[in-house]
Chain A
């Protein structure tokens, strides 16, 4: 029953945040500051993860296509895998791990030190002031990071196929352009906007309602990563089904 109550509280929290997104005043300065911070902090990890993953797809994909002598089809596999699935998922996992958990840690520390209560005492709406900019920042930063991750992933596939495995580079690039359509990139961006929203809400929810001192902050950070990843993997299945089902 505890879980159900938490889900209910999460719904109410989401509604309260949504109401404040659409009504003035807006805290634009913090929004830009958080967007900048999250983007710069996550950029390194996202690129560091998608680049090797692109290389791994190149490696394994070549083994599949070698069986049919269809090595020139490799770019289509890489572009589909990276653009539609891997880059959105990996970028979001890293945003949840780096950005989401740091938001949860910040808000949790503010809650434990009673800074949030102090904000309320000064008649400043703490949700509007601290939570809304963070959620919106993640919604903006995740798609941007996804695009970076996509570029890094494709580059990883290229590096694996052309310089390392010795496939002809012109064929690779020609097939890459031939099989990649703007729709694929749009899919990734739509997905990551949704994932960013979910990560932001989960992270701020756990941080905002942290209890129990320093250990409580650690627990809320832990819960943030796990719950956010769970939520957006589930959302990913639904989105993929909606966009690609026959």
Chain B
């Protein structure tokens, strides 16, 4: 039953966070710093992963549609699978793996060194000081990262389709353009933002509830990335069902 207690503590954590921020401005100057850290540090990883996702989408789309004589549909497959589903979830997984684990381990280390208690002694609410900037930053940055992921996925799959598979590049892009529209992009941004919220809350919660010492830090980091990615994928299904179902 301990997981039920954990869920309850998580709800309490979210409530405390909301109360710490009620009628108060976020800590000045920290948000942009965190946004830079989350966005810029996750960018190289995200770029590389989206490149490989795009290449594989092309390869598998080609392998799946060739028996039906529909090689031309690869562009449509890439657009629907890549843009609607994979790009937001890839961005979320990578941010969870890079920025989320970092949040968890930073906060857990502060807990180990009793710096969180020191903040409280100085009458600074640790949730307000540590979590709020990260929260605002990730909400700000996730949509941008999602757009980057979309662009990179399509560009790399176009490259594989034309250079490796010998498809017609113009036709490919035509299919991409006709398969997705502005509504899809808005949906992606929305998804990205919500994933960011989930990642931030889960990672910071894992950091705050960690036990002390090196094992505690490792354990907190570990569970942060697992819980964040599992909840993002589940949330993705619900959002897809609502947005496209």
**Interface of A toward B, CB cutoff 8 Å:** 45, 48-49, 52-53, 55-57, 59-60, 63-64, 73, 76-77, 80-81, 84-85, 90, 93-94, 97-98, 101-102, 104-106, 108-109, 112-113, 213-215, 217-219, 221-222, 225-226, 229-230, 233-234, 236-237, 240-241, 244-246
Contact = CB atoms under 8 A, between A and B. Distances in A.
B105 A52 contact: no
B178 to A, nearest CB: 11
B2 interface: no
Contacts of B77: 64
Given A60-B244, A97-B229, A221-B222, A108 B234 contact: no
Interface residues of B, number: 57
Nearest to B93: A93
A81 B216 CA distance: 38
A101 B226 CA distance: 10
A85 B56 contact: yes
Given A45-B226, A60-B81, A240-B60, A225 B101 contact: yes
A222 B237 CA distance: 27
The secondary structure that dominates the A interface is helix
A73 B70 CA distance: 13
Contacts of B59: 237, 240-241, 244-245
Contacts of B217: 105, 214-215, 217-218, 221
Contacts of B165: 246
A105 B237 contact: no
B60 A80 contact: yes
Contact of A226 (B45, B213, B216, B220): B45
Interface in B167-214: 213-214
B196 to A, nearest CB: 18
A81 B49 contact: no
A45 B164 CA distance: 35
28 contacts: A48-B233, A49-B233, A56-B85, A59-B240, A60-B85, A63-B80, A64-B77, A97-B222, A101-B101, A101-B221, A102-B218, A104-B218, A105-B215, A105-B219, A112-B214, A213-B214, A214-B109, A214-B214, A214-B216, A218-B108, A218-B220, A221-B222, A222-B98, A225-B98, A225-B225, A230-B45, A237-B55, A246-B66
